[in-house]
Amino acid sequence: MSTDTGARSAENDFKRDTNYIETRITADGRDGYPVEANRYRLVVARACPWANRTVIVRRLLGLEDAISMGMCGPTHDERSWSFDLDPGGVDPVLKIPRLQDAFLARFPDYDRGITVPAIVDVGTGQVVTNDFPQMTLDFSTEWTEFHRDGAPDLYPAALRSEIDEVNDVVFRDVNNGVYRCGFAGSQEAYDKAYDRLFARLDELTDRLAKQRYLVGDSITEADVRLFTTLIRFDAVYHNHFKTNRNKLSEMPVLWNYTRDLFQTPGFGDTIDFPQIKEHYYVVHTDLNPSQIVPKGPDLSDLLGPHGREALGGRAFGDGTPPPPPPASEAVPASNGANYSPQ
């Protein structure tokens, strides 16, 4: 149900549960759920890096008017993410207090994790999918009818094989790698995960020292997926998950890459650091029994000069930046390192 849904293997490695609901919303409706404006609600939590991907892609593509968004709070219990940020603790559109209700409406015997992001069919109140890797790709390729004018191509056909290859290793060693460190059940498992994580970060450093973005000369799906882990690195993973060879802010190439994206409209304006920290330090009682949330670190330097313009590239390719988020979806400035688009 949380960002760490999984178990430990016989070798004490953290194994993520990747058995998601694979139903897709497509232009041709082949799974019974056609692309249709105002039919679906994307349910997210700002704390969750996997949900953060969908928030960013929805913003960049301008799908706010086609797909509404419900926001769970940063913490949850053993049952489900809940809508405790909404008046009365009930989602104003779905009229439910817990995301679990939408899962059980479709699958009464559902016994796997209640995860965000999830897309719910508003009319039936039933979950459609929680398959987050496919979700953002479908936003790019199936929802084109509702993309804003100037929407960037985040999954260009000519680069898909390279994007997929980068996404695969980044997921294995970085996105999920930090969890493999944090939830390792033995010193050996932790050491192995730690070494893989930093070996991959070093490889990404070499790659990004020569080019502004991961694939091609503009932002793609690959950058979105890496960003949501890197932006949480110093605030959470370095301490909470013991990924402490270096802080990200001590790795200049990756830090400047992250600052570049953070200062790009659609990225930094989705980040809520207090919610991110509250989730990890309060929910993971096995790692932090006291549930004390650290006051630091100071992340204001995310707004400092990054110098990445010297590498060329255009953030949105032939497209344009997204407009500011709707007021109802805006992160308070004080929660996002005083974020201000450049």
Any catalytic annotation for residue 72?
A: no
Asked, as a colleague might, if the bond just before 108 is cis with ω within 30 of 0, I would say no
Distance of alpha carbon 107 from alpha carbon 332, whole angstroms = 36
Q: Which of 33, 40, 48, 155 is catalytic?
A: 48
Label residues 223-260 b or e (16+ Cβ within 10 Å = b).
bbbbbbbbbbbbbbbbbbbbbeeeebbebebbbbbbbb
Q: Give the C-alpha distances (Å, rounded to integers) separating 35 from 40, 43, 67, 142, 326.
A: 9, 17, 10, 7, 22
Any catalytic annotation for residue 194?
A: no
Residues 6+ apart with CB under 8 A from 12: 184, 185, 186, 188, 189
Q: Which of 40, 179, 190, 237 is catalytic?
A: 179
Distance of alpha carbon 84 from alpha carbon 73, whole angstroms = 6
- Residues carrying an active site annotation: 48, 179
